[in-house]
Amino acid sequence: MSNYTYTEPRGPRLSVIKTSPNNIILKEINKNIGSGTDSGINGGYFYSGQLLSIAVNNDIPACGAKGGYGSGWYNEKYARGTLVWDKSAGVYSVQVVRSAAELKVSNRNNYWAQGGISMSLKDDANWEKIAIAQGIPDLKGSTYRTGLVWNSGFNIWLVISEEACTAKAFRGAVKYLVGSGTVVDGIFLDAGGSTQMKCKENTFRGDGRAIVQMIALKTP
């Protein structure tokens, strides 16, 4: 049996994978998601083969050693919204940090954390200012978008927009269409040509580029 559900594109062509946070693993791939076998979506920001966003599983960075540049231990240049699943406590949070060492979790051997940009879904008045302070690229431009959000029922959604839209349009679609309005909060992830998804129902390759890291579903 599948351990996720897939939703057909809607609104500004959102494609959505819904799953459990315990079904998530953050992985280094260094290729286009469409060329691999893992289901999931693209993860953090990168440049020249170096991961520039936090991506850690149980305090181990996805792409190298603790403290290593480009390893997934840091949100480079900015303190950025980092979605944390604290499995031991059974709670989600978005923590604005520069380093995985700053994350507050109940058990450093039982969590994962993915860096991005805060969506601030409960703060419609200030979300743009927050996103700008965290260095969001192309806030007003129209481009493919990616996000990671959770709801009050502890589900998590891996979301992409398969057509170009602004960050505001993407955030609004996520807030009002995903999870029937039960979504609590989440983060923007890398976007543009890096926006990618793979599952048995859909493969979206962005502009075909290789990415460094993905949010993958564990093999059933």
SS3 string, 44-98, reads CCEECCEECCCEEECCEECCCCCCCCCECCECCCCCEEEEEEECCCCEEEEEEEC
Domain that holds residue 84: 5-217
Residue 35 main-chain phi, psi, to 5 deg: -90, -5
Would you state the pLDDT for residue 2? 64
Give the integer Cα–Cα distance in Å for 42 and 29: 10
Whole-structure pTM value: 0.93
The mean pLDDT value for 37-62 works out to 97
CB 119 within 8 A of CB 143: no
Give the integer Cα–Cα distance in Å for 24 and 1: 17
Q: Residue 178's closest CA among 16, 48, 27, 6? A: 16
Would you state the pLDDT for residue 7? 65
Which amino acid would we find at residue 43? G
The mean pLDDT value for 48-57 works out to 97
Using DSSP's 3-state secondary structure scheme, residue 172 falls into helix
Q: What is the mean pLDDT of the chain?
A: 94
Give the integer Cα–Cα distance in Å for 32 and 198: 10
- C-alpha atoms less than 13 angstroms from C-alpha of 79 in its C-beta half-sphere: 8
Question: Domain total for the chain?
Answer: 1
Question: What DSSP character marks residue 171?
Answer: H
Residue 82, C-beta contacts closer than 8 angstroms, at least 6 positions apart:
54, 75, 94, 95, 96, 97, 103, 113, 114, 115, 116, 187
Residue 109 main-chain phi, psi, to 5 deg: -105, 15
Would you state the pLDDT for residue 1? 46
Whether pLDDT at 9 is above 80: no
The mean pLDDT value for 67-80 works out to 96
The mean pLDDT value for 16-35 works out to 97
The mean pLDDT value for 159-184 works out to 92
Model confidence at 189, pLDDT cuts 50, 70, 90, reads very high
Whether pLDDT at 176 is above 60: yes
Digit-coded pLDDT (tens) for 77-124: 999 999 999 999 999 999 999 999 999 999 999 999 999 999 999 999
